[in-house]
Structure 1
Amino acid sequence: MSAPTDDMLGTLQALHAALEQVRLPLEVPGSAGHRTRRTEMAEQLEDYVLPRLREIDAPLLAVVGGSTGAGKSTLVNSLVGQVVTEPGVLRPTTRSPVLVHHPEDAAWFDRQRVLPELERTERSTDDPQALRLVASTSVPQGLALLDAPDIDSVEARNRTLATQLLGAADLWLFVTSAARYADQVPWDFLRTAAERSAAVAVVLDRTPPEAVTDVSHDLARMLTARGLRDSPLFTVEERPLGSDGLLPADAVAEIRGWLAELGADAGARSAVVRQTLDGAVKAVARDSFVIADAGAAQLETRSRLERDVEVAYAQAETAVDDASADGTLLRGEVLARWQDFVGTGEFLRGLESRISRLRDRVTAAVMGKPQQAERVTVAVESGLQTLVIENAEAAAERAEGAWRADPAGRQVLEGTATDLSRASRECRAATERLVRDWQAAVLDLVRTEGADKRGTARFLAYGVNGLSVSLMVVVFASTGGVTGAEVGIAGGSAVLGQKLLEAVFGDQAVRRLAATARADLAERVHALMLAEQRRFTALLGDLDLPDDVPDRLRTLARRVDDLRFSNGGAA
């Protein structure tokens, strides 16, 4: 094998590996066709291109394919001169493909050189995953015939196998009939052959003698119009079969003679092989860019679905952050318990006129009220839990709704039994832990900050719990978002809490403690929402979409094109 061939073989092997890694699971526009083409490309590389490159001098493989009832098997039997493949009386016929070769060429086909996944056998079988090998001296050395299933079979696995076998051919011997030559399916295959520059010969079979001229001229015109003008066209008249089930020898003499000449001419065989091989390589390289774009579209779709979830939960985090800092939580039970703790009513009445005396009055009010401080803590715990859970539920509903409105997202949702429109079953317990842990962290903040003040009168008067709930109240109104009548209630409550803390720690320390406590709460909420979000993103992770495959495919496809051009435009 030459160095250029070695380079091409190595590059195509890498390209095959990259194609095997392409995943197109999401339903995006064109994905069904791209999945089919990716499979065809991988199979053709494995079944034909790579084996052929490794053994460029192996016998030419002519695959006989065509429409249902076109007479492929009868034609193959008649060309060989014996029944080697059973014609189907009932449709569809499901059996193994049959490869007929010269006995001297047996070594080329009894190992996994072409169609490596098909099991080799020498007996007749109905297993479509087996390749029956038949040796016959009627087939010229250097050439083999393979009888494929119907390309338009109603049996899906027959159609799939026929496509795969035609992809493994050096030469397509395409069989149609006077009654079927204008059918769409055969022309779809022939168009594919023209696009891939594959070598094609066409047999117009089962043609009434009186229609031979008209039908063959019409078929030749259609071949020319579709880029197959140079394809040999043979006509086989409708003739009675002999007792052996074969056509008369003269009916297939022209085709047999052409195959014999091809088998005897090494240069002609080589030209056919190289034409088809280069066409296949060119098509694989060209379509690799299409598959790469399809892979990139999958990645973009995955990213879009991820963004839908991120936006939904980011909104939830923002809502919790806003509501836990704008005074929203300083209402209802929290406000009532706080007022019980500090005697807010009396202080609010004198807040504006006697602000300088506030610290001393607060000290007197809270002295000896540890139970009220604990009640504030419990109220804060309940209110904050409700706030977080409500927003987790809202985020799940938004994210699920966004996916439900997207075909790809809907597909992912339908693949799981979990109801993602609600928060997880673990969310409530996780939220309870979050709030308790945050309150404990606030307590630690106060305890640490007051380490050198624990013997002071004010520290002893307020207590760690009292100072902690005061800090929570300050955090809950830290943005000054309350307005109007609420200033006198929630805002005033926050001012009192701040004055309590300043009496012990000073104003700068209070601002730092409030900022730390608020950031800690936001971080804990983020972690909880991220855990909830992972219920969605884990489903996307299960899709197994490697990020680097599209770019790797494009790089390898460009390398294949470069090697072709450096070799004069041939594989």
Structure 2
Amino acid sequence: MSNEPHDHTQPEPRTAEALALLEDVRNGLADVALPLALPGAEQARLEAANAVTQLDDYILPRYRSLDAPLLAVVGGSTGAGKSTLVNALVGHPVTRAGAIRPTTRQPILLHNPAEAPWFEGQRVLPGLNRIRGALAVAQVPSAMDVITSDAAPMSSLVLLADPSVPAGIALLDAPDVDSISDDNRKLAGQLLAAADLWIFVTTANRYADAVPWKLLLDAATRDIMVAVVLDRVPPGAEAEVSEDLRALLDKEGLGSAPMFVIPETPLDSRGMLPEGAVRQLKTWLDELAADAVGRSEVARRTLNGSVRALSGRVAAIAQAAREQQRAASSLEADAVAAYRHAAERILDATRDGALLRGEVLARWQDFVGTGEFFRTLEQNVGRFRDRLGAFFRGEPAPAVQVEAAIETGLQAVIVDEAANAAEETDQRWRSHPAGRQLLGTDDLSGTSPGFADRTAEEIRAWQEALMELIRTEGQGKRTQARWLSFGINGLGAALMIVVFSMTAGLTGLEIGVAGGTAVVGQRLLEAVFGEDAVRRMAEKAREDLAARCQRLLDGEQQKFLLRLPAAGGVAEDALPAQSDALARLAGTA
């Protein structure tokens, strides 16, 4: 059961609307994937994850509890004296300080005992487990060794209730921002992002280090209140060093930050600074803790700054999402275009007479007979119908050979063009960073295993459908007698020849192809079914063939398209509008 304080009143409408927006933003950012390997994508994914964490750790909890105590995070570089400073502020050792780095092995949150319910639950930093302890001064040294031991998980937050901490402000001793431990650095950043107030500790010889200043600049963008502690300043150097640091702070927009100088002083036997070394800082914190209005202003200032910074983050992530969508669309378009062009080339090959050469031509000529037969047939198709029908019925093998030759030739064209499309797509994708990532070491530049067999099966199915078309068209008694006299295979072969000889839609024939053999098929079919019926059958056969070729190629291009990530969802589409809404919220909250 949670120990958090409960507010039994309903939130104000504006606060409820703000929370609804923030929840939507949080859920949307949690769903952002950005899977393609584009420049900046990794950083955008990190920004999205960090934004979700900050929403959970600070922004949402603070909006829900504007009157909660301020959380002051003590952060800084390795060896800056953070733990020693915290010990001095409460007047006795509560955190480990020493020469071994990192000394802050666990984040320790010190709070007034009366305000324990604000921190013992999951109100802030809900991803960190709680290790609780209300320690008397005499117990602290031994307890400190236990709770900050190496065995304690870095996913835990140590809670210490101490009456020396003024009500209204809690102190959190964070790991070093430049720690040698990756986990410590990440945790330090997470804790600083959850702070209402930063107490930033640096030293006289390290105050210009890059890592601390990167975090201070982040504080400036968030408009967070920062108190700077300049520690270990050599005697006589206070004015020079503090003036230089103040100039740096002014330059970066942090000129209003209060600064506290702690001279270099020997520690006593307990590792404590002399009494009075941190008097100014402690007085400042005590006064802030006692000023409810001042605390509220600090909380709202930091909250508004965090929401404003979140708006910029969301806008950048939205831009990254748009770039992902554009890249995916471009890769998809490359694949679709390559296979569309392949389909066009296949259809061109089936209507320009190219398939009527070579083996197909030889088998067709074997089937219909000699040149004398052509001339006689052209003079009087009806006169030789009986002779032709007998030839068809007595010699079924040549018709089958024509079908087989057409199947082989058409299969070769389809497989070759599918391979060309695959090679083109593979090359285009490998020229794109996201495409290279999606392909990896796989070679997709040829046809898929079994594609040639599937193509042959589809062609045979087309030929069977063409035969059925002839049967359907010849259902009338008179027509049936005619096509039965010629034979279904012979008429089917003739129709295939007509289909493959069209160069101008359904109205023209390439007369010169193969010595006029296409004319023979045309005349033969017209003698049986009539001119309109032949045109209709040829059109249906071509449409059927085109559809089957397209299905084959569609199946092939899936090996590329299936590697593309799913399109961005509603959440990603909503990010730009949410960024604008957050900017408005930051200006009015």
Counting only pairs closer than 5 Å after superposition, residues 13-52 of structure 1 correspond to structure 2 as 13-52=23-62
Task: Say if 1:456 and 1:298 are closer, same or farther in 2 by CA, change over 3 A.
Answer: closer
**Counterpart position of 2:568:** 546
Q: Indicate the residue corresponding to 1:357 in structure 2.
A: 380
Contact in 2 for aligned 1:58/1:108 (Cα 8 Å): yes
1:8 paired with 2:25, answer no
CA contact (8 A) 1:82 1:246 kept: yes
Is 2:168–2:289's contact at 8 Å kept on the other side of the alignment? yes
The alpha carbon displacement at 1:154 in A equals 3.3
* Larger deviation, residues 206-215 vs 441-450: 206-215
Check the 8 A contact 2:352/2:500 in 1, yes or no. Answer: yes
Amino acid at match of 1:559: A
- For residue 462 of structure 1, the aligned residue among 486, 501, 516 is 486
Partner of 1:390: 416
Q: Where does structure 1 lack aligned partners over 5 or more consecutive residues?
A: none
Contact 1:477 1:490 (C-alpha < 8 Å) held by counterparts: no
User: Does residue 175 of structure 1 match 2:201?
Assistant: yes
Distance in 2 between residues matched to 1:461 and 1:559, nearest whole Å:
80
Whether contact under 8 Å (2:197, 2:224) holds in the other structure is yes
Kept in 2: contact 1:4–1:563 (CA 8 A): no
Match of 1:420 among 412, 423, 444: 444
Q: Which SS does the other structure have where 1:324 is aligned? A: helix
Matched residue SS, 2:121: coil
Matched-pair contact (CA < 8 Å) for 2:96–2:104:
no
Give the aligned partner of residue 75 of structure 1.
85
Shift of 1:358: 4.5
> How far did residue 164 of structure 1 move?
1.2
The AA in structure 1 aligned to 2:577 is T
C-alpha displacement of 1:264: 1.4
Q: Which residue of 2 aligns with 1:557?
A: 579
Is 1:248 the equivalent of 2:274?
Answer: yes
Q: Which amino acid aligns with 2:252?
A: R
Q: Which residue of 2 aligns with 1:203?
A: 229
- Aligned position for 1:523: 547
Pairing 1:59–2:69 present: yes
* Amino acid corresponding to residue 345 of structure 2 in structure 1: A
C-alpha deviation, 1:517, in angstroms: 0.6
- One-letter code aligned to 1:176: T
**Count of matched residue positions in the alignment of Structure 1 and Structure 2:** 556
Report the TM-score when normalising by structure 1.
Answer: 0.93
1:457-480 Cα deviation digits (max 9, x unpaired):
541232111111111111111116
Q: How far, CA to CA, are the matches of 2:477 and 2:493 in structure 1?
A: 18
Contact 1:23-1:544 within 8 A present in 2 as well? no
Q: Matches of 1:428 and 1:92 in 2, distance apart?
A: 65
Deviation at 1:563, TM superposition (A): 4.2
Whole-Å separation in 1 of the counterparts to 2:214 and 2:107: 22
1:11-160 equivalent positions in 2, closer than 5 A: 11-87=21-97, 89-92=99-102, 95-122=105-132, 123-125=147-149, 126-160=152-186
Q: Deviations over 1:515-542 (max 9, x none)?
A: 11111111111111111111111111xx
Deviation track 1:179-201 (CA, whole Å, cap 9, x = no partner) reads: 21111121111111111111111
Quote the Cα distance in structure 1 between the aligned partners of 2:98 and 2:468: 85
After TM superposition, the structure 1 stretch with the greater mean CA deviation from structure 2, 23-32 or 80-89, is: 80-89
Q: Aligned letter for 1:279?
A: G
Deviation for aligned residue 1:408? 0.9
Gaps of 5+ in 2: 1-10, 133-146
The amino acid of 2:359's aligned partner reads E
Tell me: CA distance 1:444–1:89, structure 2 relative to 1, closer, same or farther (3 Å).
farther
Given that 1:295 and 1:549 are in contact with CA atoms closer than 8 Å, whether structure 2 keeps it comes out as: no
What secondary structure, in the 3-state scheme, does the structure 2 residue paired with 1:311 have? helix
Match of 1:193 in 2: 219
Distance 1:344 1:300 in 2: 61
Letter matched to residue 524 of structure 2: L
TM-score (norm 2): 0.90
Of residues 515, 524, 534, the one that matches 1:500 is 524
Aligned residue type for 2:12: S
SS of the equivalent of 1:191 reads helix
Partner AA of 1:155 in structure 2: S
In structure 1, distance between residues paired with 2:277 and 2:515: 104
